[in-house]
Amino acid sequence: MRLVSFGPCGQERLGALISGGERIVDLHAADRDIPATMLEFLRGDFWGKARRVLADILPEAVVPAPGLRLGAPVPRPSQIICVGLNYKDHADEQGVEYPKAPLLFGKSPLAAAGPGDDVVYPDGVEKLDYEVELAVIIGRTARKVPAAQARQHIAGYCVLNDVSARCCQFGDKQWFRAKSFDTFAPAGPALVTPDEVPDPHALQLTCKVNGELRQNSNTRQLIHPVEELIAYITRGITLLPGDVISTGTPSGVGVFFKPPRLLKRGDVVEAEIQGLGKLVNRIV
């Protein structure tokens, strides 16, 4: 199942992609018992109803996808928790040791943006960068979850671009502001359920800038796998339905090119993960 949030910013409705992404089923229009938003859907137990709707689709609940705006799968998560330095090749390009435990930081939930939305280059920022990442969307409240049970708490996966203001990151000596400007977390295009992602640790991920390949790696390079991340985070931080864990980026970010190859206004960034889809965001 590929769930989306579609419609104008702040008014997104819950839908499901069908016909190879060419059409969207408005799940609430098909069954009024299903909530109209992704967050309400994840907070309840509506998966069975959604599957029944998709097994016998009402034509009047189907809308064409082309031309419709998609928002982030969860437009306003309560938390976006990110992991730094979590790819072997990314640590190698910096010449640093692999972290023994996950390095966590947060992005503002208001940084969430859609897979085709513009990314705003903020005034005062001088060094803007891209980071393609595998994101995990939580489906059940998770507290002190053993790694062996972690996948039971996953609603699905999506692509996330952890846009970063490097001048703020290095100048502040911490990462929150640098990662949290509005539109700095474009995500999507859909929440892809785990049954369609048999192994999240065997996915090719790429990032292109103006068509030029910059990042090209595989989630096999993850230092701390998804299950370990969920177990580590939930030892002391409760995760709620709709919360997002962004699992880190591989080598090839702009700041570590020699000389650096950072983003400019007008650039188009394409972040893609095998089987999950692609983000296409213009820097404005």
Confidence of residue 231 (pLDDT cuts 50, 70, 90): very high
Give 233-273 pLDDT, tens digit per residue. 999 999 999 999 999 999 999 999 999 999 999 999 999 99
Work out the average pLDDT over 180-198. 97
Confidence of residue 11 (pLDDT cuts 50, 70, 90): very high
Work out the average pLDDT over 71-89. 97
Work out the average pLDDT over 210-228. 98
pTM: 0.97
Give 150-177 pLDDT, tens digit per residue. 999 999 999 999 999 999 998 898 889 9
Give 15-50 pLDDT, tens digit per residue. 999 999 999 999 999 999 999 999 999 999 999 999
For 139-152, b/e burial (b = at least 16 CB within 10 A) is: beebeebeeeebee
Give domain limits for the chain: 2-64, 80-282
What pLDDT shows up at residue 173? 86
Q: Which helix (H) or strand (E) holds 136?
A: strand 132-138
Give 41-56 pLDDT, tens digit per residue. 999 999 999 999 999 9
Q: Looking at beta carbons, which pairs linking 11-20 to residues 24 or more positions away fall under 8 Å?
A: 12/37, 12/38, 12/71, 12/75, 13/37, 14/38, 14/40, 14/41, 15/63, 16/50, 16/53, 16/54, 17/65, 17/190, 18/54, 18/57, 18/62
What pLDDT shows up at residue 202? 98
CATH number (3.30.300.30, 3.40.50.880, 3.90.850.10, 3.30.1960.10) of 80-282 reads 3.90.850.10
Model confidence at 95: pLDDT above 90: no
Work out the average pLDDT over 113-141. 97
What pLDDT shows up at residue 243? 98
